[in-house]
Amino acid sequence: MLTFAYARREIVGIAAAGAAATAVVGHLLGWWGLLPAAVAGLLLSFYRHPRRVAPIEPGIILAPADGKVVEILPQAAGPDEERPVVRLTIFLRIYDVHVNRSPCGGRVVRVSYRPGRFLNALRAAASVENECSVITLEPDAPLPGPIQVRQIAGALARRRLHRARRGAAGGG
């Protein structure tokens, strides 16, 4: 089952504009009216949120997002961290599901936001300069922690939405 609840404003806007463009172009140019309908359908697919069933096993970490894993690196403790972390970078292509999930069970210990630019995500500077939010989890035993999930905005995906709150339980 697909749900689209997290982006109602965008979905209503795309559906309304797509329907209007389809009607106008269809009225004026006949079958060419299918072109705006197809474009609207592709844009709407960006906001899909398929149901996922995670395995229930202690001590596992799941990829928090669809996409291509491009980097796994240890990171020294930053200004907000007491201990080193492992950085797993996943690049979300335009056709990937743009929903991030908790990589493991645990407790949210920090949620931070950094304003920034909206550079193309393919540019190396995007990971440093673009707007982002970071969710830090203290995972359930036996996993070491902390684990961070960082959402970086880009030129196309310009918003990061999350429901994470400090002290809340992260799903596994």
Q: What is the pLDDT of residue 3?
A: 53
Residue 60 lies in a domain: no
pTM exceeds cut of 0.75: no
Question: What is the overall mean pLDDT for the chain?
Answer: 82
The model's pLDDT over 36-47, given as tens digits with 9 standing for 90+, comes to 999 999 888 878
Residues 46 and 79 in one domain: no
Comparing CA positions, the residue from 35, 38, 43 lying closest to residue 14 is 43
Residues 27 and 110 in one domain: no
Range of the domain at 37: 2-50
The model's pLDDT over 80-92, given as tens digits with 9 standing for 90+, comes to 667 777 777 788 8
Cis peptide before 146 (omega within 30 of 0): yes
The model's pLDDT over 116-147, given as tens digits with 9 standing for 90+, comes to 998 887 788 888 898 888 888 888 888 887 88
Residues 41 and 107 in one domain: no
Residues 99 and 162 in one domain: yes
Residues 79 and 163 in one domain: yes
Residues 31 and 74 in one domain: no
Number of structural domains found in the chain: 2
